[in-house]
A and B are shown apart, each in its own frame.
Chain A
Amino acid sequence: QSVLTQPPSASGTPGQRVTISCSGSSSNIGSNYVYWYQQLPGTAPKLLIYRNNQRPSGVPDRFSGSKSGTSASLGISGLRSEDEVDYYCAAWDDSLSGWVFGGGTKLTVL
């Protein structure tokens, strides 16, 4: 059971905008930054969003992040077939003194 809660799946059609949620608590998302990672099958995760809403260089501006209270979300606009991979949220947890992750969301592009 993951500390951060994500929907196991999400879907959208090409060109559409989808949002993936990540719910936590006051000890993690409520008091620390949220990070998002993208993972292609059989590969290591890749940083997608850092510090709630910042994109590393090379990440398209189709990807965006936001945070409000103890929840965060990842937005993907202009959905493309290559976006059909897994997405994970992460945050530091003050109570656990460690990093916690969401269970991951598998995005399907219909």
Chain B
Amino acid sequence: QVQLVQSGAEVKKPGASVKVSCKASGYTFTGFYMHWVRQAPGQGLEWMGRINPDSGGTNYAQKFQGRVTMTRDTSISTAYMELSRLRSDDTVVYYCAREGELTEFDYWGQGTLVTVSS
């Protein structure tokens, strides 16, 4: 069965960086795009970007260009999302989500809460 397991909660200071991992299992990791979506407490969903695990190619939302880096390690079927120059409004839950064959987000990680506080 498909599973996406994310790394645990993080607490960071403003200006620091955070790297969240998403370990995939139950399918061919390189066969499906991986997306990152975030959600502020009590707020809606916000797409950050995606990575092609096969080629490593990325597409980022304009809002995060220059601040986000998505990478992957195919040897351990894991995708990563690194966000730099953290601000207080980056205190949100970050989700990884697999893009299915019909371009839907068919499987999601459990979410990783990142708290940015001095």
Some 18 contacts from A to B, beta carbons below 8 A apart, are: A35-B105, A37-B45, A45-B95, A46-B108, A47-B106, A50-B103, A51-B102, A51-B104, A88-B44, A90-B45, A96-B61, A96-B62, A98-B49, A98-B61, A99-B47, A103-B43, A104-B44, A104-B45
**Complex interface: chain A residues within 8 A of B82 (CB):** none
Q: Digit string of A68-97 for contact with B (CB within 8 Å is 1, else 0)?
A: 000000000000000000001010100011
- A12 vs B22: C-alpha distance when bound (angstroms): 38
The reply to whether A2 and B105 contact each other, CB–CB distance below 8 Å, is no
Interface centre among B35, B37, B43, B44 (most CB of A within 10 A): B44
The reply to whether B59 and A97 contact each other, CB–CB distance below 8 Å, is yes
Chain A positions near chain B (C-beta within 8 angstroms): 2, 33, 35, 37, 43-47, 50-51, 54, 56, 88, 90, 92, 96-104
Known: A44-B95, A96-B61. A37 touches B105 (CB 8 A): yes
The reply to whether B59 and A33 contact each other, CB–CB distance below 8 Å, is no
The reply to whether A88 and B105 contact each other, CB–CB distance below 8 Å, is no
Known: A44-B110, A96-B61. A101 touches B44 (CB 8 A): yes
**Complex interface: chain B residues within 8 A of A102 (CB):** 44
Distance in angstroms from A48 CB to nearest chain B CB is 10
6 shortest interchain CB distances as A-B pairs: A44-B108, A99-B47, A50-B104, A101-B45, A103-B44, A104-B44
> What secondary structure prevails in chain A residues at the interface with B?
strand
Chain B positions near chain A (C-beta within 8 angstroms): 35, 37, 43-47, 49, 59, 61-62, 95, 97, 100, 102-106, 108-111
- A88 vs B95: C-alpha distance when bound (angstroms): 15
**Complex interface: chain A residues within 8 A of B103 (CB):** 33, 50-51, 92
Known: A35-B104, A51-B102. A44 touches B46 (CB 8 A): no
The reply to whether A47 and B104 contact each other, CB–CB distance below 8 Å, is yes
Q: Which of A43, A47, A103 contacts B105 (CB 8 A)?
A: A47
**Complex interface: chain A residues within 8 A of B108 (CB):** 44-46
**Complex interface: chain B residues within 8 A of A46 (CB):** 108
